[in-house]
């Protein structure tokens, strides 16, 4: 069995912009990935620590494996009782449910139990579950089982078998939060990289937009097949090459199709969403991969986002807004 999980040095998105002499970068491992924050003025260095502290706070709340976090507590009470969560976590869960409905279930935050069957969150312990095992859980993953009460800020999973998993929206949201906090602290130019989910603040020193290279799934570390120019936005990429395992000559990747419970059979090799709304970009990148290129184009246009799609045949589709 061969397992592959991309660390930061093999990030999906590689910043091509040259750093000025005053740039400063700090690194930290959180959200199950390597993260970095880069600022471009010595005066901005003191802003990095409180932003990482804010990200750690989010990580604790949203990590479904952290027993004291809000999401984990919701899962522990599945089928039993509602759980009151923080207004911020409630807002993100509400957004996740809305995006599930908007994408006709291609993005589904209740798929945690099915993902657990595959073992993608357990290094060196992946397995191929049986159709019977998967079928037994898919019904529980219906988004109607995620019951939200805005008055009490409570979340209830109506089926005890389902598990809430915000992994396909959390880093996009966190990057946006980090960028906003940096701006509030007076930072004008910065790059937040959460395991390849990139959020850029401002533009380069000469006023030009940041140039971001998109990782070529077939290339070695640092190889890219296209670039995007952007300012004050998030750039989020999903692809089957990010996390997978090989077993008995078959490759199984981590992006599951909620309609089948199996890795999505898509004609997309890589899909990148560019949007100021980091949570939207993150969720759409997963949904678009599941839907395939034709339906992904329609969804991106409907949502008003830019996208860059690389198909398995090598075609590059750019969607501008």
Q: Give per-residue pLDDT as tens, 143-153.
A: 999 999 999 99
| 260 domain residue, yes or no | no
CATH classification of the domain holding 141: 1.10.3980.10
Q: How far apart are CA 141 and CA 72, in angstroms?
A: 16
* Local mean pLDDT, 10-residue blocks, the chain (321 residues): 36 49 90 94 95 98 96 98 98 98 97 90 69 93 97 98 96 98 97 94 94 83 84 92 76 90 94 97 97 97 96 94 74
| 126 Cβ contact partners less than 8 Å away, ≥ 6 residues apart | 1, 3, 118, 119, 120, 245, 247, 252
> Domain for residue 19, yes or no?
no
Res 215: pLDDT: 86
How far apart are the C-alpha atoms of 237 and 43, rounded to whole Å?
A: 31
Other beta carbons less than 10 A from residue 252's beta carbon: 19
Domain that holds residue 151: 61-157
* Count of structural domains within the chain: 1
Q: Quick check: is 208 in a domain?
A: no
pTM, entire model: 0.92
Residue 207 resides in a domain: no
pLDDT value at residue 255: 92
283 located within any domain: no
Give residue 125's pLDDT: 55
Distance CA 81, CA 114 (A): 22
- Partner residues linked to 111 by β-bridges: 163
Please check whether residue 42 is in contact with residue 48, taking contact to mean a CB–CB distance below 8 angstroms: no
Which pLDDT belongs to residue 250?
81
Residue 286 lies in a domain: no
Do 155 and 148 touch, CB atoms closer than 8 A? Answer: yes
Q: Would residue 47 count as lying in a domain?
A: no
Per the structure block, which two tokens stand in for 274?
A: 């560019």
In a domain, 143, yes or no: yes
248: left (phi over 0), alpha (psi -120 to 50) or beta: left
Q: Are the C-beta atoms of 204 and 130 separated by less than 8 Å?
A: no
- Rounded CA gap, 88 and 139, in Å? 28
């Amino acid at each position: 069995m061969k397992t592959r999980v991309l660390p930061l040095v093999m990030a999906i998105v590689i910043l091509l912009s040259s750093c000025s002499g005053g740039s400063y970068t700090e690194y930290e491992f959180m959200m199950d990935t390597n993260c970095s924050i880069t600022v471009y003025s010595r005066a901005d260095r003191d802003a990095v620590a409180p932003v990482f502290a804010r990200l750690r706070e989010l990580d604790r709340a949203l990590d479904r494996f952290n027993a004291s976090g809000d999401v984990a507590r919701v899962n522990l009470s599945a089928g039993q009782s509602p759980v009151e969560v923080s207004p911020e976590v409630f807002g993100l869960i509400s957004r996740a449910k809305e995006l599930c409905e908007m994408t006709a279930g291609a993005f589904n935050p209740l798929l945690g139990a099915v993902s657990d069957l595959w073992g993608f969150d357990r290094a060196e312990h992946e397995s191929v579950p049986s159709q019977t095992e998967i079928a037994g859980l898919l019904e529980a993953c219906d988004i109607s089982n995620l019951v939200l009460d805005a008055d009490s800020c409570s979340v209830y999973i109506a089926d005890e078998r389902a598990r809430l998993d915000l992994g396909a929206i959390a880093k996009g949201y966190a990057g946006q939060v980090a960028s906003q906090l940096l701006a509030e602290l007076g930072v004008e130019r910065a790059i937040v990289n959460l395991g390849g989910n990139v959020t850029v603040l401002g533009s380069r020193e000469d006023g030009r937009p940041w140039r971001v290279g998109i990782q070529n799934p077939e290339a070695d570390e640092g190889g890219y097949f296209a670039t995007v120019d952007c300012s004050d936005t998030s750039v989020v990429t999903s692809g089957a090459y990010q996390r997978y395992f090989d077993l008995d000559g078959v490759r199984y990747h981590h992006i599951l199709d909620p309609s089948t419970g199996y890795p999505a059979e898509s004609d997309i090799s890589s899909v990148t969403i560019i949007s100021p709304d980091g949570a939207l970009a993150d969720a759409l990148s997963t949904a678009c991969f599941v839907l395939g290129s034709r339906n992904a184009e329609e969804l991106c246009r409907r949502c008003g986002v830019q996208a860059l799609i690389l198909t398995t045949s090598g075609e590059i589709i750019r969607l501008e807004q």
